[in-house]
Amino acid sequence: MNIFRLVGDLSHLLAILLLLWKIWKTRSCAGVSGKSQIMFGLVYITRYLDLFTNFISIYNTTMKAIFIAVAIATIYLIYFKFKATYDSNHDTFRMEFLIVPVGGLAFLVNHDFTALEILWTFSIYLESVAILPQLFMISKTGEAETITSHYLFALGSYRALYIVNWVYRYYFEGFFDLIAIVAGCVQTILYCDFFYLYVTKVMHGKKLSLPA
């Protein structure tokens, strides 16, 4: 464990708790892409299948359990409890256009052709594009609530910090995982446009609105 990965994990935890809190407090999931949340749920479930079989540390097990629980709770709030506030007209990104290619790629490019490894690879590839429906929804509505933009900033920062963690681990531990690194770079690059808007607008107290 290194500081970059720890701060990255905490940023990730902050992001998903922020979103859950926003939906619960405002009793509305307006502006939130349910499709992205479903894909994040899939990411955690396929990645943390070894939750009960492969004990790494208390921290590792606890965080995995929290991520899965919060993801399921968020999906529940969006599609059940506050279903009336779900903006399905703007959440129209076709998930199958992401899940099918990612599933195929996981079969073709992986470290080990075993079920667990292919599911882990699928999870890594899916996570890199899971935010697309959310970014697409914001581009369609032309704006995002400030709390939603904080959620996105924390979520994007987590994987950016993981990239720094991978550089650190390469130089100090000689460890690297090309699949995670390439997918992590793609994932972070997808946030660049948002990061620019966040820094130039939200940090100056303005609302995040995309140029019409």
Binding residues for another protein, rule: CB under 8 A, are: 5, 9, 12, 50, 54, 56-57, 60, 63-64, 67, 111-112, 120, 162, 165, 175, 177, 180
Q: Output the smallest distance, CB 191 to another protein, in A.
A: 18
Alpha-carbon separation of residue 20 from 50, 151, 204 (angstroms)? 25, 10, 25
Q: What is the length of the chain?
A: 212
Nearer to another protein, 44 or 82 (CB): 44
Nearer to another protein, 100 or 116 (CB): 116
Nearer to another protein, 116 or 192 (CB): 116
Nearer to another protein, 10 or 147 (CB): 10
Q: Output the smallest distance, CB 63 to another protein, in A.
A: 5
> 102-135 burial, b if ≥16 CB within 10 A, otherwise e?
bbebbeeebeeeeeeebbbbbbbbbbbbbbbbbb
Classify the phi-psi angles of 192: left when phi > 0, otherwise alpha if psi is within -120 to 50, otherwise beta: alpha
Q: Output the smallest distance, CB 9 to another protein, in A.
A: 6
Q: Output the smallest distance, CB 120 to another protein, in A.
A: 7
Nearer to another protein, 138 or 161 (CB): 161
For residue 42, what are the contacts with CB-CB under 8 A and spacing of at least 6?
Answer: 99, 123, 126
Contact between 195 and 156 (Cβ < 8 Å): yes
Q: Output the smallest distance, CB 134 to another protein, in A.
A: 20
Nearer to another protein, 60 or 146 (CB): 60
Q: Output the smallest distance, CB 28 to another protein, in A.
A: 29
Residue 61 token pair: 């097990």
| Burial of 55 (C-beta count, 10 Å sphere; 0-12/13-18/19+) | exposed
> 3-19 burial, b if ≥16 CB within 10 A, otherwise e?
ebbebbbebbbbbbebb
